Amino acid sequence: MDACIDIGGTKVAVSLSSGSGLALFARRSEPTARTGASDALARQIVRLVEEACAEIGVAPQTVQRAGVSSAGPFVMRDGLIELAAPNICGGIAGPERGLPNDWITAPLEAPLRERFAKVRIENDCVAALEAERRWGALRGYDHCAYVTWSTGIGVGLCVDGRLLHGKNGNAGHAGHMFVSDNDDALCGCGNVGDVEALVAGNAIERRFGVDAATVLQRARAGDAPAETVVAGLCRVMGRALYNLTATLDLQRISLGGSVFTNNSEFLLPRLQHEVSSRFPALTAGCELVAAGLGERVGDYAALALLANGADAPAGPKG
Amino acid sequence: MDACIDIGGTKVAVSLSSGSGLALFARRSEPTARTGASDALARQIVRLVEEACAEIGVAPQTVQRAGVSSAGPFVMRDGLIELAAPNICGGIAGPERGLPNDWITAPLEAPLRERFAKVRIENDCVAALEAERRWGALRGYDHCAYVTWSTGIGVGLCVDGRLLHGKNGNAGHAGHMFVSDNDDALCGCGNVGDVEALVAGNAIERRFGVDAATVLQRARAGDAPAETVVAGLCRVMGRALYNLTATLDLQRISLGGSVFTNNSEFLLPRLQHEVSSRFPALTAGCELVAAGLGERVGDYAALALLANGADAPAGPKG
């Protein structure tokens, strides 16, 4: 069995895979560890894998391969990946951001390599993009992106048929772009007014005093103040999607994440308008769609990192 | 001999190359043709090549290879590149923009293929990036960008050691990103308030009633109002450079273009501050530098498209 691990800003999920096919077993999910020592998250993952093994009666030592799809960004320490994720590490933005720790980074690859023989860690949206290109809405597209609109905002990018990694595997952190002049929303990364600070799930609650699901439900029901809030969110997110299209000449963008997925029919035309109403020579032929893997994209993302290793794209750690 | 052709929003330059080494001969430059029929630009280029041949006594028919580094974006008609460049084609933004034509596109590849046996056309900043990676400030960098700050704003991108093209060869049009809420500056592409509309050479003159060279000269001399203007320009351009870094995890960005090149020592620390003051996990290790090829980057850009064809990156037209 292989371990498929999905690390988000809110939850950590672990599943087991038999190494063939798309079936995942013994899925376990918990709030992401954010208290105690900075290796709490790595220890949580190892414990969840052991618990999953116990649940289906597999000897833990038979699980020696771990595919890890994780919120980023990554930093390298002695050639091994640590997380510098703003929704996990409270030390990045400081106490004002309200996370219950002062971690600057959270060790990940080093502790996991003590437990597993093979570890492949990719940014969650790079991994999700790989899953969407294998099994989902991006099959056959060489110039495409996967965007998650969730606790945070993440992006995986593919241009000319190749996943983009960048110098530390952090390509795709476009949620930390600036697209407007708003200067009163603090992002977990320390930026003021970046895309994630304005429209991410946790930002909506901080800025408007109402959770994302509720404000979207109200907007769909025709509540005018909620419609105004959602129009503002779509303007910011739409500009981010347009910026990606103008920068990378994309054909298709697949969207997922908890904020988007439950409201995709409501949000898609509004976001598509923000893209298509700009510079036709750049935006014509760029289509926004809901992720083909839906709510399971996170689970399949980790699986994609282990599936068909031979034709998997090389990550920063190969 | 080969023809090296550089098409900008303001000027067209043609040089001849012997096909080996960096020497360029019989350079001729004229304002970019923008009146008459939409093939005026292509006819101008053919005429300049004939004139260059006459100047050094070469039979025109011996020039059968053309490398073309051109302002974009491109659109494809019957598989051949036409220009949809907002500083050349007046029909894109309409009469308010003030260009002396109503062209939606300008044919380029089709008429040049009637004259030359081999034609390779790339976005000017993709070509300049290739030149900077071969001979300039980006030698040895696998995650990098070339940015021109000139009549317009253009970008060439390289991630994981490969130039990025996108579906129509338009990757890099990041000058048409939105990074602020300004809504009173019309770009030639029809956007209101994108980066090019706010800080490009022609935009500075339209917005502030003074040409870019003068306002930068005054700022360097300590004139307070000019310093305020330049701080605003650097904020917008710096955000664009930061957005590229966050999106693509770059190591180095090389800058050129008429606005930048004459003021590089003044502008570089201001722009670097805009990048480095954000999210260290993404920006640490991303360095801004002046283009190693300086003012000649445009000429060498076209040459790079013909040099060592075997190891040249594949463009959309191969």
> In chain B, what is the straight-line distance between the N-terminal and C-terminal CA atoms, in Å?
21
- Strand-pairing partners, residue B119, are B66
Work out the angle at residue B159's Cα, subtended by the Cα atoms of residues B158 and B163, and round it to the nearest 5 degrees: 35
Among the candidates B124, B156, B174, a domain finishes at B124
pLDDT tens digit string along B89-144? 999 888 887 899 999 999 999 999 999 999 999 999 999 999 999 999 999 999 99
Contact criterion met (CB < 8 Å) for A248 and B166:
yes
Whether A132 maps to a domain, the answer reads no
Whether B60 maps to a domain, the answer reads yes
What are the structure tokens assigned to A199, written together?
């429209």
Contact criterion met (CB < 8 Å) for B178 and A248:
no
Q: Return the axis-axis angle of helices B212-220 and B264-276, rounded to nearest 10°.
A: 80
Do the Cβ atoms of A200 and A153 come closer than 8 Å?
Answer: yes
Contact criterion met (CB < 8 Å) for A178 and B143:
no
For residues B234 and B280, membership in a common domain is answered with: yes
Do the Cβ atoms of B271 and B245 come closer than 8 Å?
Answer: no
Q: What is the ipTM of this complex?
A: 0.89
Q: What b/e string do you get for A40-61 counting C-beta neighbours within 10 Å, with b at 16 or more?
A: bbbebbbebbeebbeeeebebe
Cβ of B155: how many Cβ atoms within 10 Å?
Answer: 28
Whether B131 maps to a domain, the answer reads no
Between A201 and A315, where is the model more confident? A201
DSSP symbol at B186: B
Task: Please tell me the predicted confidence (pLDDT) of residue B243.
Answer: 98
Q: Which of B126, B159, B283 has the highest number of chain A CBs within 10 A, making it the mutation to test binding with A?
A: B159
Contact criterion met (CB < 8 Å) for B160 and A165:
yes
Do the Cβ atoms of A243 and B243 come closer than 8 Å?
Answer: yes
Residue A316 has pLDDT above 70, yes or no: no
Cβ of B316: how many Cβ atoms within 10 Å?
Answer: 21
3-state secondary structure of B235: helix
Residue A189 has pLDDT above 90, yes or no: no
Contact criterion met (CB < 8 Å) for A250 and B143:
no
Whether B307 maps to a domain, the answer reads no
CA distance A291 to chain B (A): 20
Q: Please give the Cα distance from A35 to A259 (Å, whole number).
A: 26
Biggest CA–CA distance in chain A, Å, is 57
Mean pLDDT of chain B: 92
Task: Please tell me the predicted confidence (pLDDT) of residue B318.
Answer: 31
Whether B28 maps to a domain, the answer reads yes
Q: For residue B190, which residues of chain A lie inside 8 Å, CB to CB?
A: 278-279
CA distance B254 to chain A (A): 16
- Strand-pairing partners, residue B31, are B11
Q: For residue A190, which residues of chain B lie inside 8 Å, CB to CB?
A: 278-279
Q: How confident is the model at residue A156 (pLDDT cuts 50, 70, 90)?
A: very high
CA distance B259 to chain A (A): 21
Domain count, chain A: 2
Q: Please give the Cα distance from B127 to A6 (Å, whole number).
A: 40
Q: For residue A164, which residues of chain B lie inside 8 Å, CB to CB?
A: 159-160, 164, 248
pLDDT tens digit string along A60-108? 999 999 999 998 899 999 999 999 998 899 998 888 878 999 999 999 9
A204 to A241, B12, B180: CA distances (angstroms) = 18, 49, 20
Contact criterion met (CB < 8 Å) for A242 and B84:
no
Closest C-alpha among A182, A178, A192 to residue A239: A178
For residues A109 and A169, membership in a common domain is answered with: no
Establish, for the pair of chains A and B, how many residue pairs have beta carbons separated by less than 8 Å: 156
Residue A209 has pLDDT above 60, yes or no: yes
Could you list the residue range(s) of the whole structural domain that residue A164 is in? 137-292
Q: Which residue of B has its CA nearest to A75?
A: B281
3-state secondary structure of B245: helix
CA distance B171 to chain A (A): 4
Q: For residue A154, which residues of chain B lie inside 8 Å, CB to CB?
A: none
For residues B86 and B149, membership in a common domain is answered with: no
In this prediction, residues B194-220 reach a mean pLDDT of 96
Strand order across the A11-17 sheet: A24-31, A11-17, A2-7, A65-70, A118-123
For residues A119 and A149, membership in a common domain is answered with: no
Rg (CA), chain A: 19
Whether A308 maps to a domain, the answer reads no
Q: Please give the Cα distance from A154 to A174 (Å, whole number).
A: 7
Q: Please give the Cα distance from A208 to A121 (Å, whole number).
A: 35
For residues B87 and B196, membership in a common domain is answered with: no
Among the candidates A124, A152, A181, a domain finishes at A124
Among the candidates A99, A124, A149, a domain finishes at A124
Q: Which residue of A has its CA nearest to B141?
A: A167
Contacts of B293 (CB under 8 A, 6+ apart): B128, B131, B132, B135, B136, B137, B256, B300
pLDDT tens digit string along B2-12? 999 999 888 99
Task: Please tell me the predicted confidence (pLDDT) of residue A311.
Answer: 37
Q: Which residue of A has its CA nearest to B158?
A: A166
Q: How confident is the model at residue B21 (pLDDT cuts 50, 70, 90)?
A: confident
DSSP symbol at A311: G
Q: For residue B193, which residues of chain A lie inside 8 Å, CB to CB?
A: none
For residues B142 and B237, membership in a common domain is answered with: yes
A159, A176, A285 ranked by CB distance to B282: nearest: A176
3-state secondary structure of A51: helix
CA distance A247 to chain B (A): 5
Q: Chain centroid to CA A177: how far? A: 15
What's the burial of A230, exposed, middle or buried (CB within 10 Å: 0-12/13-18/19+)? buried
Q: Which residue of B has its CA nearest to A82?
A: B281
For residues A82 and A28, membership in a common domain is answered with: yes
Q: Which residue of A has its CA nearest to B171?
A: A248
Task: Please tell me the predicted confidence (pLDDT) of residue A317.
Answer: 38
Task: Please tell me the predicted confidence (pLDDT) of residue B308.
Answer: 57
Task: Please state, for a pLDDT cut of 70, what percent of chain A lies above it.
Answer: 97
Q: How confident is the model at residue A312 (pLDDT cuts 50, 70, 90)?
A: very low
For residues B52 and B159, membership in a common domain is answered with: no
For residues B90 and B143, membership in a common domain is answered with: no
Whether A131 maps to a domain, the answer reads no
* CATH number of the domain bearing residue A57: 3.30.420.40
Residues in chain B: 318
Q: Which residue of A has its CA nearest to B86?
A: A279
- Helices assigned H by DSSP within chain A: 40-56, 109-115, 124-135, 195-199, 201-208, 212-220, 224-248, 258-261, 264-276, 280-283, 297-306
Residue A246 has pLDDT above 60, yes or no: yes
A179, A243, A250 ranked by CB distance to B166: nearest: A250
In this prediction, residues B186-196 reach a mean pLDDT of 92
Residue B207 sits at φ, ψ, to 5 deg, of: -80, -35
For residues A225 and A99, membership in a common domain is answered with: no
In this prediction, residues B191-214 reach a mean pLDDT of 95
3-state secondary structure of A280: helix
In the block, tokens 């110039």 appear at: A143
- Lowest-confidence range among A54-58, A85-89, A104-108, B65-69? A85-89
Q: For residue B171, which residues of chain A lie inside 8 Å, CB to CB?
A: 159, 247-249
For residues A152 and A109, membership in a common domain is answered with: no
Do the Cβ atoms of B123 and B74 come closer than 8 Å?
Answer: yes
Q: Please give the Cα distance from A13 to A69 (Å, whole number).
A: 10
Host H or E run for residue B29: strand B24-31
Do the Cβ atoms of B33 and B44 come closer than 8 Å?
Answer: yes
Contact criterion met (CB < 8 Å) for B281 and A92:
yes
Do the Cβ atoms of A166 and B160 come closer than 8 Å?
Answer: yes
For residues A148 and A82, membership in a common domain is answered with: no
Q: Is the peptide bond before A313 cis (omega within 30 degrees of 0)?
A: no
Whether A177 maps to a domain, the answer reads yes
